[in-house]
Amino acid sequence: MSNMTVHTSTSDSGETTLARRTLGVPALVFLIIAASAPLTVLAGGATTSFAVTGEIGVPVGYLILGIVLVFFAVGYGRMSTVIQNAGAFYAYVTAGLGTTAGVGTSMLALVTYNAMQIGLYGVFGFTASSILQEITGAEVTWWVCGLAAWALVAVLGINKIDLSAKVLAAIVILEFVVVIGVSLMSFSVAPEGVTAEPFLPEHWLTGSLGALLAFGIAAFMGFESGAIYSEEAKDPERSVARATYIAVGIIALFYAFSSWAFAVGVGISDIVPQSQEWGPDLMFVFLDQHVPTLLANLGAVLFLTSILAAMIAFHNASARYFFSMGRVRVLPKYLGITGARNGAPTAGSLTQSGLGLVFIIIFALAGADSEFGPLYPVMTMFPWLTNAAGFGMVLLLSVTSVAIMRYFNSQPQRPSLFVRTVAPLIAAIGLCVVAVLIMFNFDVMIDADGFSPLVILIPGIIVASGLLGLAWGAYLKSSRPDIYREISRADIG
């Protein structure tokens, strides 16, 4: 199989080529793991999963999802050696299922990545506001803090990607240090002793398994993003696949280990009721009990930077999807413009920043007189948008798994049966099951009290974005065949 890359040229309105040979395997791994936000997962994701499911088998959920995603990564990693495109999902689906399906996937991916990135402004603003009040006594509303983060993300987004990679590397390393420290402390405290009870089947092979997987998938959001940077990788035929395998393994094992350790530290019989009482604050309550206040406050600040790292990572991913769609004129052509000196997807980055600003303003106005008070952004903006993104990501992975099978089985020089069929088929089945489980547990995920129209509306918007993309692809095929042909050539050689 010959390698297939995207060839672009300079237009009159600006550069249309991303910075080349910029990112090595370590930088890619940091970009991927930053999106998954290790400290945010332990403090927010794991405690929420303990609280909502009422089960102590949360660590097993991460392991099960990790296994499914390893199978996905087998075909996905091989595809990255064949096709290098900043719009990874849409390029792979175009190659395997056709241009119309690829355009539909591009729209789904755009909405998914933007929803995740923008939703994080809600939890960042609330957390920053709470930390400022705790440490300094100053009362700063959440949206002011959100705007400060927005400005920083916007500036980094229009700079060369290696600057973001360096910032994220520093943050991720600190996150790992904190989580490892909390885990070791948990084992040393262990009020009920160190036990492997959370891994026993009776604590996860229950009616709550669906909720465990539905909540757990958010922890892996971003693991696939290495392929998005393939055009900027130093050795895209090897480094993207390696970075993806490394990231999936680290994420699954690290999250399973740290959530198990934290349950042991709080107490196996107490982790569920304590999580239900304190939520994401439980880790900091735990730290307050066992370390000096200064260290506990430092942990809270690093939790904030963890969220910031995820926002930067998802901003970069969203900007590259805008760039990729603009380059082939699926979206307005100006989105395909990059910075002449730094190769950053400038137009796409500014567009993503603009969307973020609009949503911050909308939720700031909507929550001005809300009964939720300061909790408004974490009761609305954060869960609504990020859970929508989680559902969208599972759909993207499912469709891409099928496209990978179709593509490799159509090639004259095919990889092994395991790579071209077995692994992606297992991934597709597993991911479809997770998608169904998310649908059935969506009311729990958004903390709806009884039936809520949002249970239908939010997933409906995600599905509608894909359908709209399919309709747009069909329109381009019939009415703009020049663009339709360009999409096909750009994505598959």
Residue spans per domain, the chain:
4-492
**Integer Cα distance of 372 and 380 in angstroms:** 9
Residue 493: its pLDDT value, please?
41
Q: How far is CA 283 from the centre of its chain?
A: 22
**Amino acid letter for position 488:** S
The mean pLDDT of the chain is 86
Q: Which of 95-99, 143-147, 243-247, 427-431 has the lowest mean pLDDT?
A: 243-247
pLDDT at 3 over 80: no
Which residues does residue 450 pair with via DSSP β-bridges, in sequence order?
Answer: none
Confidence of residue 20 (pLDDT cuts 50, 70, 90): low
Give the pLDDT band (50/70/90) at residue 8. very low
20: its two tokens: 């080349």
**What is the distance between the alpha carbons of residues 223 and 3, in angstroms, rounded to a whole number?**
23
pLDDT of the residue at 4: 45
Distance CA 308, CA 171 (A): 9
For 372-388, the pLDDT digits (tens) are 888 899 889 988 998 89
The torsion of the CA quartet 349, 351, 357, 363, rounded to 10 degrees, works out to -120
Within 10 Å of residue 6's Cβ, how many Cβ atoms?
23
Query: Which of 161-170, 220-229, 308-317, 349-358 tops mean pLDDT?
Result: 349-358
Q: Give me the long-range contacts of 288-291 (CB less than 8 A, separation at least 24).
A: 290/185, 290/189, 291/185
**CA 191 from centre of chain:** 34
d(CA 486, CA 147): 38
pLDDT tens readout for residues 101-145? 999 999 999 999 999 999 999 989 998 998 898 888 889 999 999
Reported as a single tens digit per residue, the pLDDT across 139-168 is 999 999 999 999 999 998 888 666 667 787
Q: H or E stretch including 4?
A: strand 4-5
Phi, psi of 193 (to 5 degrees): 85, 160
Alpha carbon distance 245, 98 (integer Å): 27
Identify the three-state secondary structure at position 84: strand
Helix (H, G, I), strand (E, B) or coil at 160: coil
Identify which has the larger pLDDT, 105 or 172. 105
- In this structure, which topology does domain 4-492 adopt according to CATH? Amino acid/polyamine transporter I (1.20.1740)
Sorted by sequence, the CB contacts under 8 Å of residue 16 that are 6+ apart come out as 8, 9, 10, 327, 336, 337, 338
Residue 302 contacts residue 175 (beta carbons within 8 Å): yes
Percent of the chain's residues with pLDDT above 70? 92
Digit-coded pLDDT (tens) for 184-208: 999 999 999 999 999 999 999 887 8
- Burial group, residue 197, by CB count within 10 angstroms (0-12, 13-18, 19+): middle
